[in-house]
Homo-oligomer: A and B are copies of this chain.
């Protein structure tokens, strides 16, 4: 494999052939392609772009580069969900058992996150005993029994993407739509999903800052889905403020537990999950319309089926929710952030709130970093809320040894908010829906 000739071709604005992209992918997997040539090619791709034909060929080569799972024994349509990542994005924690509760089968493979908090796997790992590394036999047994399972992505699944993603992350070559789409869709396809829903986040706390670019990505994903023979639907969802209230790992699990127990309502989170679920139900032919799908989702939540499924699922993977609730939390301090003046909360800088959570220890900057499951933020007010002076805006959970003062941390949170005398226009959580 003469990788240099591919770099030359791309730099000269050429289109790489399917055969070249297959050879390239093989060289990534067998290690014969050195990192420095890969990162040079990735950078050239960021500048020159990838045509649709290149993106499709790359996705196919990625799928073929490793294991390909299938679930012939599944007792329902096999579905999966992917999020492009946002602040407070605990959708999978809630949606995975919810989908199982309405009869869909969800064998979810999840990567460790490099975001403001950990990924779904990191969040689940805050439950004592929860096992994220399961054998194929265990995965299939839990699926048959519970209908859903969430495990760390096997190294054998799209190994080409695993290596390239790690490189992209440290060479500022993440933001190329074709590379992102090939990465996401190859993993979902290799993991055997028949129907896939993408939660494309859009806003200050998301990768896609504006709607046009989010839609461009969604359209690309839909086209790839058609050509790969998988049904892909997309939701473009609002990430101009955190989703729900918790931003942290254990804190987000607690939020989902409280929601399932009916102790706390998070309308943006439940609405988003209902629409994502309705899309999958409709795409899989389980319901004839989105309205019917949403009604089925709503009913499952209201009737307690989601809570029951959540508990069975966590237990099936070894998680001990009682121990989670009673866990030891010494070594942390809780900081109550209060409003100085009254007014309307007009904006929350989700990006900044995410950075604050990461700064507290909730997220990673590099794959080698550790995560503190306990730290994070509970947003007590959302955009549009009328605030009184001295009202609690948020609670921060910081390590006792964090060298910054409570006051400094509280000020950092407040700096991410904007207030005004007039109520702001509040955007819906779902900005757009794209059917397959």
Contacts A4-B170, A172-B7, A172-B11 given; does A40 touch B43 at CB 8 Å: yes
Judged by a CB distance under 8 angstroms, whether A52 is at the interface is no
**Surface stretch bound by B, among A30-38, A99-107, A227-235, A258-266:** A30-38
List CB contacts (< 8 Å) of A160-186 with chain B. Answer: 167, 170-173
In Å, the complex CA distance between A34 and B8 comes to: 22
Interface pair B47/A171, CB less than 8 Å apart: no
Judged by a CB distance under 8 angstroms, whether A44 is at the interface is yes
Q: Which residues of B contact A42 (CB under 8 A)?
A: 40
Judged by a CB distance under 8 angstroms, whether A39 is at the interface is yes
Q: Which residues of B contact A34 (CB under 8 A)?
A: 35, 170
Interface residues on A, range: 20 to 34
In Å, the complex CA distance between A12 and B37 comes to: 22
Q: Which residues of B contact A167 (CB under 8 A)?
A: 36
Interface pair B7/A37, CB less than 8 Å apart: no
Interface pair B4/A40, CB less than 8 Å apart: no
Interface pair B4/A172, CB less than 8 Å apart: yes
In Å, the complex CA distance between A36 and B171 comes to: 7
Q: Which residues of B contact A170 (CB under 8 A)?
A: 4, 34, 36-37
For A8, give its contact among B40, B47, B172 (CB under 8 Å). Answer: B172
Shortest CB distance A164–B (Å): 11
Most-contacted residue by chain B among A7, A46, A172 (CB, 10 A): A172
Shortest CB distance A32–B (Å): 13
Q: Which residue of B lies closest to A7 (CB)?
A: B172
In Å, the complex CA distance between A173 and B46 comes to: 15
Shortest CB distance A122–B (Å): 22
In Å, the complex CA distance between A170 and B44 comes to: 14
Shortest CB distance A266–B (Å): 34
Per-residue interface assignment for chain A, residues 169 to 210, with 1 indicating a CB less than 8 Å from any chain B CB and 0 otherwise: 011110000000000000000000000000000000000000
In Å, the complex CA distance between A4 and B4 comes to: 23
Q: Which residues of B contact A38 (CB under 8 A)?
A: 36
Shortest CB distance A76–B (Å): 43
In Å, the complex CA distance between A170 and B7 comes to: 9
Q: Which residues of B contact A39 (CB under 8 A)?
A: 36-37, 39-40, 43
Shortest CB distance A285–B (Å): 44
A selection of 25 A-B contacts at a CB cut-off of 8 Å is A4-B170, A4-B171, A7-B171, A7-B172, A8-B172, A11-B46, A34-B35, A35-B35, A36-B38, A36-B39, A36-B170, A36-B171, A37-B39, A37-B170, A39-B39, A39-B40, A39-B43, A40-B40, A40-B42, A40-B171, A40-B173, A43-B43, A43-B44, A43-B47, A47-B47
Q: List the 9 shortest-distance A-B pairs measured between CB atoms, nearest first.
A: A40-B171, A43-B43, A35-B36, A36-B39, A7-B172, A39-B40, A40-B43, A47-B47, A8-B172
Q: A39-B40, A43-B44 are in contact. List 19 more A-B contacts (CB 8 A).
A: A4-B170, A4-B171, A4-B172, A7-B172, A34-B35, A34-B170, A35-B36, A36-B36, A36-B39, A36-B170, A36-B171, A37-B170, A37-B171, A39-B39, A40-B43, A40-B172, A40-B173, A43-B43, A47-B47
A→B interface (CB under 8 Å): 4, 7-8, 11, 34-40, 42-44, 46-47, 167, 170-173
